[in-house]
Structure 1
């Protein structure tokens, strides 16, 4: 996979629209933009304003971050080697706020249709001894509640929503219940959280299509005084630092499948 960094100047456009200097400065500030590929079975090339930016992007992976100035972008996904005119998914008016840390997810909506969703990543300082966990439901699967120590942490999580919490670093006893109930679908299971780090996990694919998979992104350096804008790191979960991700997301995904089986005989893993 090859990534080219795109820097787009928007000063002329801002002058034409007559924006105030402060607003213009904010719009031109660069954002760090990561991209999650959550559409199963189809490698893609990613175009930004007509320029190929990510080539041979594989499903269930995270690329970037790219540096993009604040503004509106034309983002298109094509089959490898095909032009923008043949895009399989495109958003011609994707808004990118200036000076933010963002993730653009290409995924399936609740009905299984490919969509693009932009998430703003929380890079605020995490208190000493705390860790941030973010779960994003970007799969064609039903809703679940995630509990820690018997207390709901993420409730009624549905596509394309996210839920997040700063939790004490260390071992957390987690389980999944059917949304709005106390009926345990899976667990409990002990998981580990690392201090000063935001871990963002994505449920992707389709329960009905049996293509559920995991993608994960980390943002480090959030404990104590921050140094610049955290860029984050993309990729599949792997290694000992990611053991708790596989456990927690496995719980979430299996809980979603179990819920789906109760809702419809056609939704099964």
Structure 2
């Protein structure tokens, strides 16, 4: 697994816009890439423009969308304030971005450790898992210092920093996980949450939001990438934290329409911390 930081503010939401690019309905296939998007910047609603056309209106925080099959190519994207008349005065961009064929990606628009908007493009691990095992990936995309992930009160992932990830292959089952400041066990900053680890899937958990906001906006989002015993494909599992509603939203994609299902899958108890830690239409 690799994570590539897209450091400039110009790119902070441009990567996310790729999911909304106008693409032909026949894009699926060996030459297509799969891309999902997490909007993990609290309090910021935007419009996304692709090749001069508004493709997403009022994209809200906490939304996890995709996956979409996109053909390889370059997309010109721009981000404006919500309900802008056109893309002539973008807040971010326009930027030309290339998309490679055959990959499975998640673009996370989020806050960096200092609380500034940024984006990270993650490559989802779709390598086969052993029989009876599933994969658990934890990604730190919150404005917060390093964290540990506890299972059964013991750290199973240690010193995870923004914008990095750690991955475990585990026997299929349920992991009761909590997020705490690195080197501690209390207070619990996120969780405890029961995370299902399913055979042949990669369950990806994101810690997003801000630990320094008052009140804290820390939250969890989940994604499941299926098909790790065969050809990989991704499905959205849901999102949690501050966003606790289940809804289906349409996405206008040029010639065709895709339906994206967002379903809540975890019950998260969030606790506010003093100064630590660490989705569509």
Task: Calculate the TM-score normalised by the size of structure 2.
Answer: 0.68
Query: What is the aligned partner in structure 2 of residue 22 from structure 1?
Result: none
Does the CA contact (< 8 Å) of 1:108 and 1:115 recur in 2?
yes
Distance verdict in 2 for CA 1:213–1:77, change over 3 Å:
farther
Work out the CA distance in 2 between the residues paired with 1:234 and 1:189: 18
User: Higher helix share goes to which structure?
Assistant: 1
Distance verdict in 2 for CA 1:234–1:174, change over 3 Å:
closer
Structure 1: any 5+ residue segments left out of the alignment? 9-27, 262-266
User: Which fold has the larger relative contact order, with Cα–Cα distance below 8 Å and residues 6 or more apart in sequence?
Assistant: 2
Query: What is the aligned partner in structure 2 of residue 118 from structure 1?
Result: 121
Distance verdict in 2 for CA 1:174–1:204, change over 3 Å:
closer
Query: What is the aligned partner in structure 2 of residue 156 from structure 1?
Result: 159
Distance verdict in 2 for CA 1:122–1:54, change over 3 Å:
farther
Work out the CA distance in 2 between the residues paired with 1:207 and 1:221: 34
Does the CA contact (< 8 Å) of 2:193 and 2:267 recur in 1?
no
Work out the CA distance in 1 between the residues paired with 2:181 and 2:209: 20
Distance verdict in 2 for CA 1:177–1:61, change over 3 Å:
closer
Work out the CA distance in 1 between the residues paired with 2:236 and 2:117: 24
Correspondent of 1:197 among 198, 201, 206: 201
Does the CA contact (< 8 Å) of 1:64 and 1:234 recur in 2?
no
Structure 2: any 5+ residue segments left out of the alignment? 1-18, 25-29, 247-262
Query: Does residue 136 of structure 1 match 2:139?
Result: yes
Query: What is the aligned partner in structure 2 of residue 51 from structure 1?
Result: 53
Does the CA contact (< 8 Å) of 1:126 and 1:196 recur in 2?
yes
For 1:132-157, what per-residue CA distance to the aligned partner results, in whole angstroms no more than 9, with x for missing partners?
A: 11111111111112244566432211
For 1:235-267, what per-residue CA distance to the aligned partner results, in whole angstroms no more than 9, with x for missing partners?
A: 42579x965x445xx5xx759x46618xxxxx9
Distance verdict in 2 for CA 1:195–1:4, change over 3 Å:
same
- Tell me the SS of whatever aligns to 1:231: strand
Work out the CA distance in 2 between the residues paired with 1:67 and 1:148: 35
